[in-house]
Amino acid sequence: MLGRRTRITLMVTALLAVPLASFGIEQSLADRLSGRILLQVESYGRAWYVHPVDGTRYYLKDGATAYEIMRTLGLGIANADLEKIPTTTGQAKDARLVSRVAGRILLQVEERGEAWYVRPENGLRYYLKDGQAAYDMMRDFSLGITNDDLRTIPMNTTQIVHDTTFDDVAYIQVRAGEVIASQHADQILPPASMTKLMTALVFLDRKIPWDTPVTITSFQIEYPRYYAGTDATSEVDLAAGDVVTVYDLWIALLVASSNQAAIALTDASGMTRDAFIAAMNEKAKELGLTRTAFYDVSGLNAHNVTTPREMAVIAREAFSSFDIFRASQQDSYSFQTRNVTPRTISVTDRNYTLQDFNVDAAKTGFLDEAQRCVSLKRKNDIVVVMHARSMSERNEILHRLLDSI
């Protein structure tokens, strides 16, 4: 079965990039694409809406998000005026009105706020009944665009989302609450498996005994495939039916960065998965974070986002916990399942690439969208590096920041 990324990539490869040469050169790209729905041809087909009022772009995560955003940005209109905007070619229209509202979302003030989209290319209005209608419109009306061109259209300032056109490394070094060094410290980026530090904090709040037995399910084993398809992910040799302890899963989570362990601990917490994720976001608020959002517990969901500055707060909180600090220092671990016929499972340290830096505690992460990430503690310093384009770039930055300690 194709993974979600693969399916989207196949769809996007059929698109052509925006033929910018066909537009006039006297306007900015945001002006030229005002009100259009754009689809990134280089970043998993992410869809964006260019708001005609301020020329900023909004990320349309899915049909439901698109529907909600477009209603939020909608402009009220009376039925009499709405009737002047055609729904099919050849109908009578008020050309000046159509020109004025092209690309806008119109909300009928005399009905129940029913929404319509005025397509700039043809001046016709399309009914947005619900999220599915919004998704269909995204699919049918989207225009392919490259990252270089999309980057010139500014992001809106209200959405907490990753700008996938970002092409640099971001980092921060904090010592006793003071920023020592930083670059793009407030850039919103996916934390990948560094998410597991927040997962660990929320799980600790549940105070589940370490020796609690957990039976691994087939769904937990298959969980990474929902995000990664057939791509390899960080796991240990768990199998459906294995009986293990909460502590075994805890070490697998923080040492091997096991995504299966992340969802198994979530299920063992006594909370539903949605409630657990809500608790992660609530804890982010308690820590004073305003540019952080979680959608899954493993970090495989690229819509999980934070910034280097806010990730440093999470890392400081996590590494202050004895249980997280102790687990992150493990360089080898194995355990036996509690099945009738026990198996020995080894846990491989995923932080081995940091051995040369003499860190006290660390959590690494990688996704295509996130690139190379790390949060670490060394002496009194917390260092976070996000979106390093290679291991060598990440390590070069770590050497520069840590060699002075």
Tell me which of 142, 257, 328, 375 is the catalytic residue: 257
Q: What gap in Å lies between CA 28 and CA 372, rounded to an integer?
A: 34
Q: What gap in Å lies between CA 383 and CA 312, rounded to an integer?
A: 7
Whether the Cβ atoms of residue 347 and residue 334 lie closer than 8 Å to each other: yes
Q: Respond yes or no: is residue 283 known to be catalytic.
A: no
Whether the Cβ atoms of residue 353 and residue 362 lie closer than 8 Å to each other: no
Please indicate if the annotation marks 363 as binding a ligand.
yes
CB neighbours of residue 254 within 10 Å: 32
Q: What gap in Å lies between CA 49 and CA 62, rounded to an integer?
A: 12
- The encoded tokens of residue 240 equal 């459906």
Q: What gap in Å lies between CA 34 and CA 53, rounded to an integer?
A: 8
The residues, any chain, with a CB within 8 Å of residue 71's CB and separated by 6 or more, are 105, 107, 113, 115, 128
**End-to-end CA separation in angstroms for the chain:** 49
Q: What gap in Å lies between CA 17 and CA 143, rounded to an integer?
A: 7
DSSP-derived secondary structure for 293-310: B-S-SSS-STT-BB-HHH
Q: Respond yes or no: is residue 392 known to be catalytic.
A: no
Helix (H, G, I), strand (E, B) or coil at 339: coil
Tell me which of 193, 269, 328, 375 is the catalytic residue: 193
Tell me which of 43, 142, 196, 258 is the catalytic residue: 196
Q: Respond yes or no: is residue 193 known to be catalytic.
A: yes
Q: What gap in Å lies between CA 111 and CA 107, rounded to an integer?
A: 9
Question: Which positions are annotated as active-site residues?
Answer: 193, 196, 257
Which residues belong to the annotated binding site for substrate? 363
